[in-house]
Amino acid sequence: MKVYNGKSVFGGIAIGKISVYNKEQQQIERYHVEDAAAEVERFMRAKETAVNQLKALYDKALAEVGEANAMIFEVHQMMLDDLDYNDSITNMIETQKVNSEYAVGVTADNFAQMFSSMDDDYMKERAADVKDISERLVTVLSGGNGEGNKFSEPVIILADDLAPSETVQLDKDKVLAFVTRQGSSNSHTAILARTMSIPALIGVDVETDGAYNGVKAVVNGFTGEFIIEPDQETEQKMEEKRQEELEKKVLLQQMKGQGNVTLDGQTINLYANIGNVEDVASVLQNDAGGIGLFRSEFLYLESNDYPTEEEQFAKYRQVVETMHGKKVIIRTLDIGADKQVDYFNMDKEENPALGYRAIRICLDRKEIFRTQLRALFRASAFGKLSIMFPMIISVNEVREIKKMVEEVKAELKEQGIAYSDDVELGIMIETPASVMISDMLAKEVDFFSIGTNDLTQYTLAIDRQNPKLDPIYDPHHLAVLRMIKTVVDNAHANGIWAGICGELGADPELTETFLAMGLDELSVSPSLILGLRKAIRSTDVSKVKEEVLAKF
């Protein structure tokens, strides 16, 4: 038994035989051509064939993984028509009188090296795209069909790497999992794997020379382990774990497509909390009604410098487009306290949870905030986007934010940049101050989202990061629950909606309580959506409401 470790791209357990993936690579040779014009024409015909193949891949991906994930094949079509790329190939053919395969191969290496040397992670990913389209061209020029590997039985695919086109071409019914030596968790292939719900590992230092073809293995997408020739005890444990996961999925899949409606007809929205673009696949997979909290600070935490407007816009746009018109609520930058970013150069604080954080930073460093607002409103043109602001303690803060919003919208309008006028603006309710003036705040915004994690620590004066205080940290404390009810009541009295995006929203012991309070929305981790929906659909609020509300 051999155990290799890698990084999990998608969870799950797979047990089966290994199939080493063989790319349709041709040995590229350089040879002289007499008729350069005819060779250029041969290249153009091959390019046309490659474009048609990519169109077919787009249609297949559109049906299987949705429009946003299929877009990569439109991008590849555009890359094939890129003027610089084509000029490099045709100029080489005409001036050096060499064959098309060689010209494509050299151009691919040059462009891939150029992209790989860039600092921007997004641009680095384009190196793999250039290689992918170039390999497709060489395959067509060499007489290949570009259809990839075929499998006679379900297998665990082992490869050096998999291009997006190769992943989409896989017969999902014949793929148990895939394991690659290379790849990135932000690559198109990783995103597709998550969307297709295929257990996958990347960065596994295992031989791919064919020695393991047909050998039994286990992929543990929860721990990142790749176990080759597992012993009987290990295989049995993994099989039991796999069966457990399957049973859970089968049970909860019955909840997909069902309404979030109680037995007595009360409806509540179930949204998902996410930290990055890659999590959207899990949101869709678990049938969430929208995204109730996109933690935009992760764009800053994962970067070595301030994310540019373009970088942020690209991420926000991708999320709203992928959600196909479902609501996406993006929280503006919420750093400070336990989320520190070195390049912000913030002073050390004795009480960071009570210090310079979240909206306080944004209203102090307005250019950072303005950049984010511009990116957000630009993305609003591509879907149903809402914006919420964290750590609010006063009406004046909200009014200052709204003033900046209007300035940003005026700038975009003047510059002819599209944005939506139908963007809800909301605030996080996570301080006792915001609870106590929630009747006044409700007149200024479109919605409230209650951040129960911070609200609990501020209400109880307990640092939630301090393990010594765990025994007395009580999110069920009557004071916390009364505050939640106060916020909901004040929201409804002023015609706006109120939800919860903290961890408390998924607490099964409080589902009845939140329904009785009349909360309009609960936003939780994607994996908890279907279980929470099941609990909602089995609750009769009319039978418990009087008893529950009597506590408050």
492 a catalytic residue:
no
**Helix and strand counts by DSSP (H, E) for the chain:** 21, 16
Helix (H/G/I), strand (E/B), else coil: 227: strand
Q: Which amino acid is at 291?
A: I
Residue 29, marked binder: no
Closest C-alpha to 206, from 162, 167, 164, 159? 159
- Cα distances (angstroms) measured from residue 143 to each of 37, 47, 163: 20, 13, 20
Distance CA 492, CA 213 (A): 63
Residue 430, marked binder: yes
Q: Quick one: which H or E segment has residue 14? A: strand 13-20
Closest C-alpha to 294, from 314, 277, 313, 270? 277
Residue 273, marked binder: no
Q: What is 318-369 written as a DSSP string? A: HHHHHTTTSEEEEE----BTTB--GGG-PPP-SSGGGSS-THHHHHHSHHHH
Residue 331, marked binder: yes
In 3-state terms the chain splits into helix, strand, coil percentages (rounded to 5) of 50, 15, 35
Distance CA 141, CA 502 (A): 55
Using only C-alpha atoms, what is the Rg of the chain? 27
Distance CA 249, CA 532 (A): 14
Residue 269, marked binder: no
Closest C-alpha to 6, from 191, 185, 195, 241? 185
188 a catalytic residue:
yes
Q: In the block, which residue shows the tokens 């992670």?
A: 121
Distance CA 288, CA 528 (A): 10
Closest C-alpha to 429, from 502, 494, 495? 502
Residue 453, marked binder: yes
Catalytic residue among 32, 76, 188, 477: 188
Q: Where in the sequence numbering do the catalytic residues fall?
A: 188, 501
Annotated binding residues: 295, 331, 430, 453-454, 464
Annotated binding residues for Mg(2+): 430, 454
Annotated binding residues for phosphoenolpyruvate: 295, 331, 453-454, 464
